[in-house]
Amino acid sequence: MTREQKVEEAKRLRATGLTYHAIGGTFGVTTTTARRWCNPELMERDRELTRQYFRNPINKERQRERQRKYQQTAECKEYQRQYFQANKERIYKYRASRVDPEIIARREQRQKVWQRVYAEWMASKQREARDA
């Protein structure tokens, strides 16, 4: 079910008298999210308040500091360990692709082709500008 379908279903459930808490439980989201889904004006107001909050440099720094503190907690370290275990193959494959000589050679070849194509394009634009 897409997000839009969930929002439509949440609105329908709310119209039948279901509480935001029950709607949130149905979709596995918070009560606040259920309220926002059912009330687009509230969603837009909350988005604007969040934008205003994070435009303030002091609040940005507070958020960064909270993130730094969280990254030092055991909970975060455990999450990172579990994530690594669950995605170990994909992570190793990505890391290997960053140093694999064959992949690096292909990247360099693509870059050379791109540079040549770009140089030809620029030359044609310069010729057009001279001729005009």
pLDDT greater than 80 at residue 118: yes
Residue 9 lies in a domain: yes
Q: What is the distance between the alpha carbons of residues 41 and 65, in angstroms, rounded to a whole number?
A: 31
Band of pLDDT at residue 31, cut at 50, 70 and 90: very high
Q: 53: which 2 tokens?
A: 């909050």
Q: 19: which 2 tokens?
A: 């509480």
Residue 116 lies in a domain: no
Residues found in the chain: 132
Residue 41 lies in a domain: yes
Residue 40 lies in a domain: yes
Q: What is the distance between the alpha carbons of residues 114 and 108, in angstroms, rounded to a whole number?
A: 10
Task: Kindly state the DSSP code that residue 87 receives in the 8-state scheme.
Answer: T
Band of pLDDT at residue 89, cut at 50, 70 and 90: confident
Query: Per-residue DSSP letters for 73-104?
Result: SHHHHHHHHHHHHHTHHHHHHHHHHHH-HHHH
Residue 86 lies in a domain: yes
Q: Given this model, what pLDDT does residue 87 score?
A: 86
- The domain total for the chain is 1
pTM (predicted TM-score): 0.45
Q: What is the distance between the alpha carbons of residues 31 and 20, in angstroms, rounded to a whole number?
A: 5
pLDDT greater than 80 at residue 59: yes
Per-residue model confidence as pLDDT tens digits over 45-57 = 999 998 998 888 8
Domain of 49 in residue numbering reads as 3-100
